Amino acid sequence: MSLNNKPVALITGASSGFGMRTAERLHTQGWIVYAAARRVERMATLSQRGIRTLAMDVSSEKSIKEGVKTILQEEGRIDALLNNAGFGSYGGVEDVPIETIHYQFDVNLFGAARVIRAVLPTMRKQNSGRIVNTASVVAHISTAGIGWYAATKHALSAMTDALRQELSGTGIHVSQIEPGVVRTGFEEVAITTLKAVHHQKEYQDVMDGVADGTRRMYKNAPGPESTVKAMVHALTAKKPKSVYKTTWDSRWLPLVRRLIGGKLYDKISLRTMRKSA
């Protein structure tokens, strides 16, 4: 418990979507919540509700250390971490600039690793803690146009599995959240980055299909409630699950991919994209 006898949580990527809603939910359950994001002004509504807000850039070691230091000075402990910061940058494998690929890994994978390393010494001293990483259904499947984003989530999933095993017996539980397509505003950033990439003419029809198909999928997608519910459970339950698949597509698409095999999966995916274009 904290100095105020309440559990303390750090949530990254809390300026919108899953992170913001989970911060609100934990706060209503009596937690002391530190909501972190690069832009503090986007978390004004959280601050008004009594939720602490931190300026934290997960691509900056200094920023993370300063944020964690603030929490420890004010509360004396950290009971849970939700690694939710991340973004999707879409585009063809050949055409996305290397600098963009590096930055996407720096946020989605290395950013999560930096925050984990910053909180683990405290959790190990406490002999307790929760670490929850936000992955995706694309930790298991990938399609044209999302290769680099999916690669970051594949890598995050592999790291999460290893960390869970390494922390076995320490009192620190590690879970992974795997949403599929969910309406959170994520798609607008992804489509914008896709449109900004100059693609080779051989790929353009498929990439146009990716953009149009993504827009349609997200238009008909469920809201964030089931994923937020899973995040709260992973952070608070006595016996959290290792993996939470929070939407129908995250539960079934990887299974379908394995059952039909790679060639048929490729054929169906490409046909769907070209039809969308």
Find the radius of gyration of the CA atoms of the chain. 19
Q: Residues, the chain, total?
A: 277
Q: DSSP states of 165-193 as a string?
A: HHTTTTTEEEEEEE--S--SSHHHHHHHH
10 Å CB burial of residue 261 (0-12, 13-18, 19+) is: exposed
Give the integer Cα–Cα distance in Å for 36 and 13: 6
Chain-centre distance for alpha carbon 175: 12
Q: How far is CA 266 from CA 145, 251, 272, in A?
A: 13, 19, 10
Contact 134, 83 (CB under 8 A): yes
Catalytic residue positions, numbered: 149
* 250: Cα separation from own chain's centroid: 14
Instruction: Classify burial at 53, counting beta carbons within 10 Å of its beta carbon; exposed 0-12, middle 13-18, buried 19 or more.
Output: buried
